[in-house]
């Protein structure tokens, strides 16, 4: 009997303990089990896709470095939650490779956010994947117009630009300078058509004329056959080239004897800070439009430049600034949701509301996820023994739709469909 009683008392003790545990777990206000709490405190994972090889390797590395710099400045965390950035080299202009890397980041690495991308073609290729996966995607360079226009997604935001947005002011500015007949050259892919298309639309609407269109392939090494075609009765040549293409084009434009004969203008990537010293005097006098310049005299820009140069021992570029602003956007949105990136809708809502005093100046997003910011008209000048993009005019609060309503603008012909149709 004693033995049975002892067993019975032991069972009663176990049952009482179980009841007590259940009561504690079910009680309101009691913290989750330690394992669950620990899981919620795991790092916010950001997958960063950027080219580190090929024609856009330089810009790809710069945007990565700007992105990582800001995370380092905030201690790689938001509040008490760590942030982990996983960088993947996606090649320069290979949509299939980018999709493979994006799937790897999502499915194996379990990232919460995607960011990066240089090429517009790659950005377009990722659009449907991002939308299907419902993953927030911060584009830190690729300006593919459609991503924040006709093909917009509630998951896509930019820290950079839409391809045509800073080209619109350039077209208006060029006409005001007295230019009337323009030859255009652009790399033969989607970004080229959109970047140069913005210039053409505002230039021609003001009364200018396009007398010739030339589209060299991306990655062209010898521009002589294309330079030889340029009509000499034009009064300006407007172009879009970037990265190694821009370096070669500017050098060969000067070597071919066109510098001084026909003014050269274009998007800011034509004479970006990373290639400007290599372009040398051939770049002097070139006018470009962009949302940033190294010589902007603001506290935020000075602090950014100082930090970047201290860490990387080289001057930042516009690509680096765009990466830096992309990280600023994420930090601001994550702070708003107290690091709870798993509450996806709250996080997306916070991203929509982001406003910054960025290195470039005031920054906010329109209703389509694209920046509204100043666009600077810059001219390459030699100051002492250094070349710089001196700001000669400013267009404040420029958005992707320029002076049109979104509805009217998106009813116009897409720029990639206008290739070869601008000459009248």
Query: What are 14-45's pLDDT values in tens digits?
Result: 334 433 333 333 344 444 444 444 445 699 99
% pLDDT > 90, the chain: 83
State the first-to-last Cα distance of the chain, in angstroms, to the nearest integer: 110
Would residue 187 count as lying in a domain?
yes
Number of CB atoms found within 10 A of residue 21's CB: 10
Same structural domain, 59 and 157: yes
Instruction: Cite the DSSP H helix spans in 74-166.
Output: 95-103, 120-133
pLDDT score, position 92: 57
- Write out the residue range of the structural domain in which residue 183 sits: 167-292+374-417
Please state the rounded mean pLDDT for residues 152-165: 96
pTM: 0.87
Same structural domain, 156 and 175: no
Query: What are 233-259's pLDDT values in tens digits?
Result: 999 999 999 989 999 999 999 999 999
d(CA 350, CA 336): 6
Same structural domain, 232 and 277: yes
pLDDT score, position 58: 87
Return the closest-CA partner of residue 315 out of 262, 278, 349, 362.
278
Would residue 255 count as lying in a domain?
yes
305-to-62, 102, 316 alpha-carbon distances in Å: 13, 31, 6
The single residue listed with the structure tokens 């930042």 is 316
Please state the rounded mean pLDDT for residues 262-271: 96
CATH number at residue 329: 3.40.50.2300
Which of 34-38, 187-191, 370-374, 387-391 is predicted with the least confidence, judged by mean pLDDT? 34-38
Same structural domain, 311 and 369: yes
With cut-offs at 50, 70 and 90, classify the pLDDT of residue 120: confident
Query: Number of folded domains in the chain?
Result: 2
Asked whether residue 13 carries a pLDDT value surpassing 90, the answer given is no
pLDDT score, position 14: 37
Return the closest-CA partner of residue 210 out of 241, 169, 174.
174
């Amino acid at each position: 009997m004693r033995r049975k009683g002892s067993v019975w008392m032991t069972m009663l003790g176990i049952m009482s303990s179980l009841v007590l545990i259940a009561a504690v777990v079910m009680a309101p206000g009691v913290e989750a089990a330690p394992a669950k709490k620990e899981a919620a405190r795991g790092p916010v994972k950001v997958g960063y896709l950027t080219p580190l090889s090929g024609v856009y390797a330089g810009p790809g590395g710069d945007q990565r470095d700007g992105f990582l710099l800001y995370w380092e400045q905030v201690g790689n965390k938001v509040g008490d939650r760590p942030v982990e950035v996983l960088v993947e080299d996606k090649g320069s202009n290979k949509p299939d490779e980018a999709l493979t890397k994006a799937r790897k980041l999502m499915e194996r690495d379990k990232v919460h956010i995607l960011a990066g991308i240089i090429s517009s073609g790659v950005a377009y290729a990722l659009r449907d994947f991002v939308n299907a996966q419902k993953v927030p995607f911060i584009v830190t360079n690729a300006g593919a117009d459609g991503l924040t226009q006709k093909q917009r997604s509630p998951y896509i935001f930019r820290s950079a630009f839409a391809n045509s947005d800073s080209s619109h002011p350039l077209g208006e500015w060029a006409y005001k300078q007295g230019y009337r007949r323009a030859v255009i050259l652009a790399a033969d892919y989607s970004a080229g058509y959109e970047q140069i298309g913005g210039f053409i639309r505002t230039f021609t609407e003001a009364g200018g004329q396009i007398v010739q269109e030339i589209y060299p392939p991306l990655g062209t090494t010898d521009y002589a056959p294309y330079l030889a075609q340029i009509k000499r009765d034009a009064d300006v040549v407007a172009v879009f080239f970037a990265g190694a293409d821009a370096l070669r084009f500017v050098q060969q434009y000067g070597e071919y004897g066109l510098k001084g004969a026909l003014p050269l203008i274009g998007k800011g990537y034509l004479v970006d800070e990373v290639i400007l010293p290599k372009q040398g005097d051939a770049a002097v006098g070139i006018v470009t439009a962009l949302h940033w310049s190294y010589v902007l005299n603001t506290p935020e820009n000075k602090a950014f430049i100082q930090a970047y140069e201290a860490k990387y021992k080289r001057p930042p570029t516009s690509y680096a600034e765009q990466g830096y602003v992309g990280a600023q956007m994420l930090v601001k949105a994550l702070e708003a949701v107290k690091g709870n990136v798993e509450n996806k809708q709250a996080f997306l809502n916070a991203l929509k509301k982001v406003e910054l005093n960025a290195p470039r100046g005031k920054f906010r997003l329109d209703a389509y996820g694209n920046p509204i910011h100043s666009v600077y008209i810059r001219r390459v000048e030699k100051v002492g023994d250094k070349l710089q993009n001196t700001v000669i005019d400013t267009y404040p609060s420029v958005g992707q739709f320029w002076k049109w309503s979104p509805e009217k603008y998106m009813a116009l012909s897409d720029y990639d469909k206008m290739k070869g149709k601008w000459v009248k």
